[in-house]
């Protein structure tokens, strides 16, 4: 049974926090877990990074945002949480709830400051190592932080930075042990730590007999209806026929050389170190006879940040968008619906127009895929997406769209599976690499009027 609001807002009375010099937390998102988390924080054995409570500090903003988000979601959290546990992340009710949370100035300001602190330090809130302040933020802002990673609602701060920070925090054993399964069961961390069972119940739902019964019933209903296909209505048939006549496909052309089977070598997985990822990426490129140069730099979650570090080196700087069609292509057998769009940073990528250009029905509109799909398909995380990641997809399930304007550039920059470095390859080298992954990219003119 879900906790009442008064219980969720109960302040833990403990002297433990006088030792680590932060304010006593309210733990509104993790009912009853307060003392256990305090003890785990003390067991981290990290030095520094805590922040004394004072008005206007980051800690003060975090606590204010925690109270605000809890007030906004009063009475809705249990339903929201249960939907997550059975694999529903973007229902209309969930989007409305997330939108209300992110629209709150207090919450948005706190999350924005967290992003600024992470970008400034390059890893965590107080420096290159995890601190007690990081754990405090993870606990207090569990609800809005989880929403940033699982909701498609637009926000005024960088979701990818928060996602990468959460993953880094959960890579610390002490943090993952207490928070990984309870507060962040859907967070994608190193593959060695991912819980692959489904559904996974969080702290608010775990052990609930009614929840288990509903899940079991939903599985039975799904199985009974798996072979049923609703007949297409005459209206939909006429509409589809009209779309084919009035909305011709946008002219596309394919890049050479043609694919000749997958021959990129061993995968470059997420749990490898930065040095290993760089070394393996460069080795694969050189094995194919592709010239490359790599420059290491601080974490760059976006192209804009990357250009701050290496923009003076020239060449083409590209954004990499991982999207998924809502419905399968009518003429493609076993369509995965997954696409990696690689375009110059200033390209105007209109997903609705691209949906039509690729031949998908209007109801099959392309949308940004979630973090879990990205990790499953390409074994990389948000902020590190790169065309080099096709090495981790030997079945070629992820299709590729390339920006024609890139062909005019003197080399192109991409992350070598880590956003702490960038690798430049010739345009011909990129095309060769993609061909060796057993794919033929679709070429598009994104800025053509």
Q: Give mean pLDDT in consecutive 10-residue pieces for the chain, a chain of 449 residues.
A: 32 28 38 48 46 65 85 71 67 79 89 90 83 81 82 82 85 69 47 35 45 49 53 69 52 46 85 93 94 94 92 94 89 86 93 90 84 91 93 92 92 95 95 91 84
Tens-place pLDDT, residues 253-270: 444 454 557 788 899 988
In a domain, 241, yes or no: no
* Residue 377 and residue 263 share a domain: yes
* Residue 313 and residue 170 share a domain: no
* Residue 359 and residue 301 share a domain: yes
* Residue 162 and residue 79 share a domain: yes
DSSP 110-140: HHHHHHHHHHHHSSSSSSSS--HHHHHHHHH
Is the pTM here over 0.85, yes or no?
no
Would strands 366-368 and 316-325 be described as parallel, antiparallel, or unpaired? antiparallel
CATH number of domain containing 407: 3.90.960.10
In a domain, 144, yes or no: yes
In a domain, 312, yes or no: yes
User: What phi and psi values does residue 243 have, to the nearest 5 degrees?
Assistant: -65, -40
Range of the domain at 288: 253-444
- Residue 205 and residue 85: Cα distance in Å, rounded? 8
Tally of structural domains, the chain: 2
* Residue 277 and residue 159 share a domain: no
* Residue 201 and residue 271 share a domain: no
In a domain, 231, yes or no: no
In a domain, 243, yes or no: no
Would strands 399-403 and 338-344 be described as parallel, antiparallel, or unpaired? parallel
- Residue 138 and residue 162: Cα distance in Å, rounded? 10
How high is the pLDDT of residue 331? 80
- Residue 407 and residue 428: Cα distance in Å, rounded? 8
Task: Pick the last residue of a domain from 209, 241, 267.
Answer: 209
* Residue 87 and residue 157 share a domain: yes
* Residue 258 and residue 189 share a domain: no
b/e string for 288-324 if b means 16 or more Cβ within 10 A?
bebebebeeeebbbbbebbbebbeeeebbbbbbbbbb
* Residue 278 and residue 373 share a domain: yes
In a domain, 220, yes or no: no
- Residue 47 and residue 20: Cα distance in Å, rounded? 10
* Residue 262 and residue 190 share a domain: no
Nearest Cα neighbor of 356 from 247, 263, 275 is 247
* Residue 378 and residue 280 share a domain: yes
In a domain, 9, yes or no: yes
In a domain, 219, yes or no: no
- Residue 78 and residue 83: Cα distance in Å, rounded? 9
How high is the pLDDT of residue 255? 43
């Amino acid at each position: 049974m879900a906790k009442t609001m008064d219980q969720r807002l109960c302040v833990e009375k403990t002297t433990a926090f006088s030792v680590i010099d932060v304010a006593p937390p309210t733990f509104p998102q993790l009912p009853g877990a307060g003392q256990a988390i305090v003890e785990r924080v003390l067991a981290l054995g990290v030095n520094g990074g805590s922040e004394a409570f004072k008005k206007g500090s980051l800690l003060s903003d975090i606590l204010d945002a925690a109270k605000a988000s809890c007030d906004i979601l009063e009475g809705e959290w249990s339903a929201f949480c249960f939907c997550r546990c059975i694999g529903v992340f973007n229902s209309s009710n969930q989007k409305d709830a997330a939108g209300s949370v992110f629209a709150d100035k207090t919450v948005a300001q706190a999350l924005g400051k967290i992003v600024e602190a992470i970008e400034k330090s390059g890893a965590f809130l107080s420096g290159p190592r995890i601190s007690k302040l990081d754990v405090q933020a993870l606990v207090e802002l569990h609800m809005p932080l989880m929403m940033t990673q699982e909701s498609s609602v637009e926000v005024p701060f960088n979701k990818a930075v928060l996602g990468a920070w959460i993953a880094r925090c959960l890579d610390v054993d002490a943090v993952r042990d207490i928070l990984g399964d309870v507060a962040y069961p859907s967070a994608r961390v190193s593959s060695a730590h991912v819980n692959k069972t489904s559904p996974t119940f969080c702290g608010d739902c775990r052990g609930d007999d009614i929840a288990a019964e509903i899940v079991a019933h939903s599985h039975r209903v799904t199985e009974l209806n798996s072979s049923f296909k609703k007949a297409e209505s005459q209206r939909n048939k006429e509409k589809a026929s009209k779309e084919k006549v009035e909305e011709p496909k946008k002219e596309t052309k394919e890049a050479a050389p043609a694919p000749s089977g997958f021959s990129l070598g061993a995968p470059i997985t997420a749990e490898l170190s930065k040095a290993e990822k760089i070394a393996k990426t460069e080795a694969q490129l050189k094995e194919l006879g592709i010239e490359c140069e790599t420059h290491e730099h601080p974490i760059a979650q976006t192209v804009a940040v990357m250009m701050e570090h290496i923009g003076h080196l020239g060449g083409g700087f590209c954004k990499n968008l991982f999207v998924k069609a809502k419905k399968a292509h009518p003429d493609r057998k076993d369509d995965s619906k997954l696409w990696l769009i690689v375009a110059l940073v200033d390209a105007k990528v209109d997903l609705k127009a691209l949906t039509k250009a690729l031949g998908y029905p209007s109801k099959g509109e392309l949308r940004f895929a979630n973090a879990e799909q990205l990790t499953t398909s390409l074994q990389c995380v948000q902020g590190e997406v790169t065309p080099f990641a096709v090495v981790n997809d030997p079945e070629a399930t992820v299709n590729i769209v390339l920006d024609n304007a890139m062909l005019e550039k003197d080399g192109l920059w991409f992350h070598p599976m880590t956003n702490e470095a960038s690798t430049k390859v010739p345009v011909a080298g990129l095309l060769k690499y993609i061909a060796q992954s057993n794919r033929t990219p679709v070429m598009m003119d994104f800025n053509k009027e």
